[in-house]
Structure 1
């Protein structure tokens, strides 16, 4: 769990550093490849909406961890929710949990969507 928190902190820090650049930065020294994407949503109708449009995700199986992908996916989720259910939905309500404990150099992502 400590490793996961460290990786998440590193990803968050890298996001703030690199958000304004177009350079694709790989966050971790080892090249981790995406295995799965899941959603953790408090509202079942929004969860259904996200799974219905999962084919439009910016995450692709086998890709490396890149901050730009997380930024684009957050923007996609916010736009989808704003246009379908809640026009006041904030990007602050979307976060990501990265799990690198799957196996050697693989990771999973859970997009967490909170409704306040």
Structure 2
């Protein structure tokens, strides 16, 4: 695995959620997951970059950021889940649903929030 510094983490997330992509770059997503698992301290920077992509005006960028986030929840450990809760990424996702954003982005966001309710333990869980 390649060594990746913080700015590079941001660059990779920008590449992973770029409006130039036609489809998700699964190899890059898995690389980002491996990196977050191997260097938990970098997970913060990665998730900060993902959060910025979620705030992007382009729905394609938002959709790819959600896909990357979904991949991270499935493939990364508890520390990454904690960072997602800590960085208020779920709150950012709720904002997406409340805004009249692209229907595909809203639907994906709602599906993820719904499925993560269990992963994160719901109202009484580890990350309410």
TM above 0.5, yes or no, is no
More strand, by proportion: 1
TM-score, length-scaled by structure 2: 0.26
More helix, by proportion: 2
